[in-house]
Structure 1
Amino acid sequence: MEDGNTLSYPFEFSDISDEEKKMIDKLHSFSYASELARLGPKGYIVTKAFKKNAADIYNLPLRSGDIFVTSYQRSGTTWTQELVWLLANDLDYEKALTVPLIERYSFLEMFMFVPDGGLESFMKAARQNSENFNEDMMIQFINRIATPASQILATAQSPRFIKSHLPMSLLPPKLLGTAKMVYIARDPRDVIVSFYHHTKLFMMTGFTGTFKEFWHLFHKDLLAMTPYFEHVKEAWEKRHDPNMLFLFYEDLSKNLPAAIHRVADFLGKKLNDAQTAALCDHLSIENFKKNKAVNFEEFRAFGMLAKNEEFVRKGKTGGWREYFDEEMTQQAEKWIEDNLKDTDLRFPSTN
């Protein structure tokens, strides 16, 4: 049964400042800043293309069997998606290994990453940055992801599995009253390291700056879906809702069997010791890196991925220490302290 009373869209889009545009564009090979806007009172960074489907997402007809996996990007989303899907589908490893994750989940806002007004610049950046660029395959891919997930979901069979990096406030307001959600959070310093490599992996993003410059964009709320802490705190506030399971990446990394059982309990599933061990083996970083159904390697064939980058990387916690200099470390500590002072949200220690 779907729940779908149409609501007027409550948020306004606004332009980023000229100073912010300059800061962003000097670090990209094309005018990326012209594609960006801030949304709502918290000023979440989205692309202008999001306008086309924002109200439809907000009013997405929900079903009681829907399962959402959400996060700020690069927080362990793919890992969590695979875990959730396998538990919900009674450990169907055969399908999990043969059907790409992007076909098992609808990525709710994927369409917004197809530039609204700068498609040719987007293609030009991809050509320049790729030795194996295949324009026909790129166009096919873009046309595929440009189709809003809300349209695809309308005819999808239940149970529907939905991925999103949107904050709670931009998702359907009655979501937790109808569907289930697993939210995964991660220390923002590790998030930005992973996000930086992700941006370098998908070369058509056109980012040309250093890691330190990328960190400054994140810290100044100039990357997609920032401000980061507002995103996480919106989910944290809902963590006691019976239809919400809030996870930390660090807990999965530290004790995967315990995390598996938390998710299983949330989904009403039971696992014996042998099943738990098998699932841990499937989800191990070593096996995950080799799993073609989750690592986007098919995109490498037509030149979308950088040769020296991988979608599934090291899967470690605390790796940010290898990237942050003393100035950035102090800056991050103050930023985290300032943003957590009015909440009981705390990230697990990675020492």
Structure 2
Amino acid sequence: MTKPTNPTKDEMVRMIDLGRAVIETEADAVQSLIPRLGDEFAQACSYLLHCQGRIVVIGMGKSGHIGNKIAATLASTGSPAFFVHPGEASHGDLGMITPQDVVLALSNSGETGELLVILPLLKRLGAPLIAMTGKPESTLARESEVHIDVSVQKEACPLGLAPTSSTTAALVMGDAMAVALLQARGFTAKDFALSHPGGTLGRRLLLRVSDIMHADRSLPSVGLDATLHEALEVMSAKGLGMTAIVDPEGGVAGVYTDGDLRRTLNKPIDIHHVKVSEVMTRNCLTVSPETLAAEALQMMDEKKINGLLVIDEEQQLIGAFNMHDLLRAGVM
């Protein structure tokens, strides 16, 4: 295995300077897009917003990679979209595109051969074409219903060859479209979570207390007549750092927690004889099973508590959970 050698101080300075120059060049390229946002951008967004089918993004090479990401961003923010490789489109994948779709084509030159080959077929199909190029006078730009200018003054590559600033500009413009459409559709954080159920945001916004609470035999609870010693045994056995104290009808009369225990130990009491109801916290905070786990976490943070009891519509105890359950569920 080849081991890297330690660069000299001069080499380090040159690499850092070049890295900064690249970032500055790409930042300038992005900044130059702002004054270009006008009627064309609004028209393109209108086409995409009123698309009756899917947004089909196409592009070759590095533009294809950017197009793939734009399609993914559109799809995850409420605008159904997918990517089609133009080379594959010439060999059957063109059948994935319908007249109800809108095609978003990316090409810095606007003269990419694989795109121009299928251009007449797209025209015959009748799917509106939005072009995103760096050459407003190019064939792709001229043949499109709307052209978005993403030209850059120079690439960040010192050779001026590797797509760097141009791909960054195209990516940023795609994000601008996606977010503009998100706003126009009234897309919410909950909508985003529904399309990202496996992600952290999805867990935070979709997970409910009923999904994480301990119930039935794992639920720590004792009656009003239980001694403090009996309550502590239940707390130790269930491992939630608390136990509910319930009345004869199954309603919550109070809760006894690790914090209550620390306070109790400061008093001269006999844990084998004192009733837990004498030292419990009354009027404790409870939640319903339909409460979002993220809301429950906020409540616990505000009240500086580590656990909550869960009650149903009849005010009956049905569950309990603590911070560790929220942590394991990925809510924290």
Give the TM-score of the pair, scaled to structure 2. Answer: 0.23
Q: Answer with 1 or 2: which has the greater Rg.
A: 2
Q: Which structure's relative contact order is higher, taking Cα pairs within 8 Å and 6+ residues apart?
A: 1
